[in-house]
Amino acid sequence: MNYQWYPGHMTKARRMMQENIKLIDLIIEVVDARIPLSSRNPDIDELGKNKARMILLNKSDLADERENEKWQEYFTQKGFHVVKMNAKSGAGVKNVLPVIMEACKEKIERDKQRGIKNRPIRAMVVGIPNVGKSTFINAFAGKACAKTGNKPGVTKGKQWIRINKNVELLDTPGILWPKFEDQSVGAKLAMIGSMNDQILNLEELSLELLGYLHKCYEGILAQRYELEESEDRLAMLSAVAKNRNCLKKGNELDYAKASNILLEEFRNGKIGRITLEQA
Ligand code: GDP
């Protein structure tokens, strides 16, 4: 999903988040493993400061496995319970339930001491657009999709999905707004395809991607596009254009087409498993 946010959207999203957070014990935050920081909005830390917290490093199939492990460690040290997964294939999804129980151990213990029995943990999935929230909810709850119906205190139309006798999940994810006023965050969101391509300068973005790949994944471009890597990013884009036969009338190189190919192949993981920010 491509999007553009306006102040009104953000205010509304924040208000909905504040309302929903009151209903839950646990925040399950989905991030994109290729940009684990840029696909977060740290405002959620303030909004959810008294809740149990989980981070799902999703799309880990598209990200560098070594970096996935480092990010898992990074967030664990910050006090999150972390699961690495691929919501699309379902890989890793089975690890989520035991980690939910672990993340909510204190609440379960507290309930027990107060003599409260069988009060299920209530959780909500949150994240910025396109990180895989819906895909995860379907993979996690799809089969168990016994909805529990409206309950008092729940905004009309909102439903809880009963995962098992211990866990209930809000059926619609909470949408966080990205922090793209930071230039580098915007560029990374654009690279993974989470911005509206129509408003972007794709050639500039491709040059940035080429520079990054050459610096951090040396050899990966040489291999895929049979080019000579160098600091000269424009020369590399020309080489991609030549390799993919991107020509305009008069045999001029078509940089726009080459940029499209490069970005599409990157977004689909065809260039390789790449993480755009290091832990
Ligand atoms: P939402 O906006 O956060 O609800 O994101 P969606 O669930 O709609 O997912 C956005 C896109 O990412 C869809 O095309 C999904 O198929 C894809 N997707 C979701 N999870 C994964 C994943 O783990 N790996 C890959 N490769 N694609 C995924």
Q: How many CB atoms lie within 10 A of CB 47?
A: 18
Atom of ligand 1 nearest to the CA of 173: 4
Give how far Cα 141 sits from Cα of 1, 162, 171, Å. 22, 8, 9
Nearest residue (by CA) to ligand 1, atom 16, is 88
Between the CA of 9 and the centroid of ligand 1 the distance, in Å, is: 22
Nearest residue (by CA) to ligand 1, atom 28, is 88
Nearest residue (by CA) to ligand 1, atom 24, is 59
Burial environment of residue 15 by CB neighbours within 10 A (0 to 12, 13 to 18, 19 or more): exposed
Of 64, 88, 265, the residue with max ligand 1 atoms within 8 A of its CB, to mutate for a pocket test, comes to 88
The CATH class of 201-267 is: mainly alpha
Residue with tokens 């949150």: 126
Q: 167, 166, 202, 171: which is closest to 187 by C-alpha?
A: 202
Question: Consecutive 10-residue runs of the chain (279 residues): their mean pLDDT?
Answer: 73 92 97 97 93 98 98 97 98 97 94 92 96 96 56 60 93 90 89 86 96 98 98 98 97 97 98 97
DSSP classification of residue 69: H
Between the CA of 86 and the centroid of ligand 1 the distance, in Å, is: 9
Protein residues with CB under 6 Å of any ligand 1 atom: 1, 58-59, 61-62, 86-88, 127, 129-135
Between the CA of 58 and the centroid of ligand 1 the distance, in Å, is: 8
In angstroms, what is the C-alpha Rg of the chain? 21
Segment 151-158 long-range contacts (CB within 8 Å, at least 24 positions apart): 153/23, 154/23, 155/19, 155/20, 158/20
Can you tell me whether residue 40 is helix, strand or coil? Answer: coil
Can you tell me whether residue 5 is helix, strand or coil? Answer: coil
Q: Residue 154's pLDDT is what?
A: 46
Amino acid at site 235: A
d(CA 178, CA 278): 19
Nearest residue (by CA) to ligand 1, atom 12, is 132
Amino acid at site 74: Y
Of 134, 135, 267, the residue with max ligand 1 atoms within 8 A of its CB, to mutate for a pocket test, comes to 135
ipTM of the complex: 0.99
Q: Residue 156's pLDDT is what?
A: 54
Burial environment of residue 91 by CB neighbours within 10 A (0 to 12, 13 to 18, 19 or more): middle
Domain locations along the chain: 7-175, 201-267
Residue with tokens 């966080």: 176
Q: Residue 157's pLDDT is what?
A: 62
The tokens describing 148, both together, are 């529990």
- Fold classification of 7-175 is Rossmann fold (3.40.50)
